[in-house]
Chains A and B, each alone.
Chain A
Amino acid sequence: MDHNEIIKSMFKAMLDLDKENAQKIAQAAVQDSLDLNRFLQEGMSAAMESIGKKFQNGEMYLPELQMSADVFQAAMQVIEPELLKLKKGYQEKKRVVIGTVKGDLHSIGKDLVATMLKTEGYDVIDLGVDISSLDFMERAVQLNAHVIALSALLTTTMAAQKEVIEAMDTNGVRDRFKVIVGGAPVNQSWAEKIGADAYGENAVAAVKIINNFFPE
């Protein structure tokens, strides 16, 4: 099959949220010795960008974004081993540990950020909600994460973001991670006050900031 056609059909499968077809096309790309970096960029990442715009415009919704992330990851499972063999021009995924802080049960904003990061190719470990400060630190250390993303939706829980950073300072691991904070009561000045590396005003901004943590 023509390589351009394979890439176009992958783009369509992604937009159709068709996981099974996406995996088949990814396998075909590998078998046909397609330029996998080009396949990833033009067939998959471009599709995710299009889906992201549709989400921003209200044409697609969070569950569809989550499904698209599943499709993306399913296809990545096929092509990533080949990309790693080649190593040329392919960057191994950075790992993000994300969660909602202790005492806070809100999840939807965190879910959105996690989904968007997955579609950007990050390895995202979502710890869930009501996560203690020490758990954030310990899991990030265990998993060799690169970024810790902390969500808090209440003024009475945002202090836990500071506590996570304090825990890392106390245990001498602060420098190992980039820390980004977000949530309704959080702002830039809070992020600076507690020593976070960044503040994400919304999911799109958070993803851009995390991308900027790792300039190519």
Chain B
Amino acid sequence: MIDFIEVCRRASSGPLISEERFDRELFFPTVQELVKKYEIKPDLANPVCDSDAEADAIYQAGLELITRVGVYCTDSNRIIELGTDEVSEALREAPGPCWFGEGKDRRFYPVRRPDDFDTPAMCAVGGSLPCSTEEIAFKTVEGIARIHEADCITQPSIMHLNQVPIVAGSPQGFLACIRGVEIGRSACRQAGRPGLAFVNGLPGAGSAIETIAASFPAFGLRPSDGWYVGFTAEMKISYGALVKCALLERVGGHIGSEQAPIIGGYCGGPAGAAITNVAYIIAGIMVMRGHYALCFPVDMNLGVTGTRGVLWATSASSQAISRHINYPFHHVAYPNGGPMTESYFYEVAAHHLAAITSGSSAQTGLPAKGTQTDHMTPLEFKLAAKIISSAHKVSRSEANEIVNRIIPKYEEKLASPNIGKPYQAVFDIDTGLPTAEYIAFYQRMKKALQDMGVPLDV
């Protein structure tokens, strides 16, 4: 595979083009051309794709896309071009499965296939949602770490230090990153899981300086943890992201290439998003030097992952990737529903079934689209984790039937805000335990999902 210095060289000397022209004259028309060339036709009535031939076509289209458009460096305004032979070589050398965490908490992140009944999905729990106090952040992580099914976690972000608001790129932003790691490590220890890995030790949206500084071993992050490094839509990378990759490659941390094809945006519709999702995986391996990928095709207008178009793109691209590339990847749900809403549970169930039966692993959904302070709790994550851990037991076609039963339960509500309840309304902050009301709600939703066919171990 081309080495990272070569990536740097190409970012500095590749073809020069404005971002607008890259988007509108190169990327978008190429994706649309490939959708037609490979005759990719989403069947939104059946969001869990069940066609190996279609998955293979999407893979070929993704392969052609990355070799024709490359990756755009937003700082140098140049294209990092990737040749066909180089891509083939990189895919032969793709990293394969990996291990996260340490000691008894060490967990395997497998490479899976569609209808992979023998290999449970890797289960990542949590999200870097904002928390208003360190106490809520600690209790949330402690609760998440106690989830038996959690193979790795993501800890929340704190919003102020001694009442000084956290602003991106500021010194207090860097200090907040360190504090987040400290809280996360301490809370995992409190939960009896000192070796549990962070699948994303620092906010992926953080600056390169924050990442480099907060990754210093003294602050608690370990090479057995992971770091998400993000592309921007579509197929773009900044110098800041490349700097993060340079650091992590040299210290041996796991790089999680983060990709979110936006349906309605520069990749077009669900077919274009599926092709783009494949192309991103290749870009993640070659340009970011990734060890795994975080994927989330998302609807541009609603900002959620539960629409039929997104579910189809998630399923179809997961099959394309897992049938051809030896690289672990997981999809995360962005449900509209927040904690203690029916919608949250239905949306994540549909998403995880579509993704996991198609060969992906999964991360529990970020409640209320991951945007509301204090709006995440261990209890909805617990059920989401159980779904992730059991979803491999059904086939794609079975999952499709279940998903089609679930979608009507939430589809009409996706356009309306449904943020649910904050942690402090449904959990006792002192004990870190859920209220009786939320427990009853959880039991009701678990039964409702089981009655709909969602495989859930009792």
Give me the interface of A with B, judged by CB distance under 8 Å: 55-56, 58, 61-63, 66-67, 102-108, 112, 154-157, 159-160, 184-185, 187, 201-203
Contact = CB atoms under 8 A, between A and B. Distances in A.
Interface of B: 23-24, 28, 74, 130, 157, 159, 165-169, 173, 203, 205, 207, 232-233, 238, 262-266, 268-269, 272, 300-301, 303, 309, 369-373, 417
Contact of A61 (B74, B264, B372, B417): B264
Contacts of A155: 130, 157, 159, 371, 373
Given A103-B169, A105-B232, A156-B168, A62 B265 contact: yes
B24 A67 contact: yes
Given A105-B238, A108-B233, A157-B168, A185 B371 contact: yes
B168 A154 contact: yes
Contacts of B24: 63, 66-67
A22 to B, nearest CB: 17
Contacts, number: 71
Contacts of A61: 28, 264-266, 268-269, 272
A113 to B, nearest CB: 12
B269 A103 contact: no
A126 B179 CA distance: 36
A106 B168 contact: no
A168 to B, nearest CB: 19
25 contacts: A58-B263, A58-B264, A58-B269, A58-B309, A61-B28, A61-B265, A61-B266, A61-B268, A61-B269, A62-B264, A62-B266, A63-B23, A63-B24, A104-B168, A108-B233, A108-B266, A112-B300, A155-B130, A156-B157, A156-B166, A156-B173, A156-B205, A159-B167, A160-B167, A202-B301
Contact of A106 (B232, B264, B300, B373): B232
Per DSSP, chain A at the interface is loop
A67 B28 CA distance: 12
Residue among B74, B268, B373 facing the most chain A CB atoms (10 A cut-off) = B268
Given A61-B264, A154-B168, A157-B168, 18 more contacts: A58-B269, A61-B265, A61-B272, A105-B74, A106-B232, A107-B232, A108-B265, A108-B266, A112-B300, A155-B159, A156-B166, A156-B173, A156-B203, A156-B205, A157-B167, A159-B165, A184-B370, A201-B417
Residue among A55, A102, A108, A112 facing the most chain B CB atoms (10 A cut-off) = A108
Contacts of B263: 58
Per DSSP, chain B at the interface is loop
A151 to B, nearest CB: 13
Contact of B262 (A66, A108, A157): A108
B168 A103 contact: yes
A102 B207 CA distance: 12
A156 B129 CA distance: 11
Contacts of B130: 155, 185
A155 B373 CA distance: 9
Nearest to B74: A105
Nearest to A103: B168
A202 B28 CA distance: 23
A169 B300 CA distance: 34
Contacts of A154: 168, 205
A66 to B, nearest CB: 6
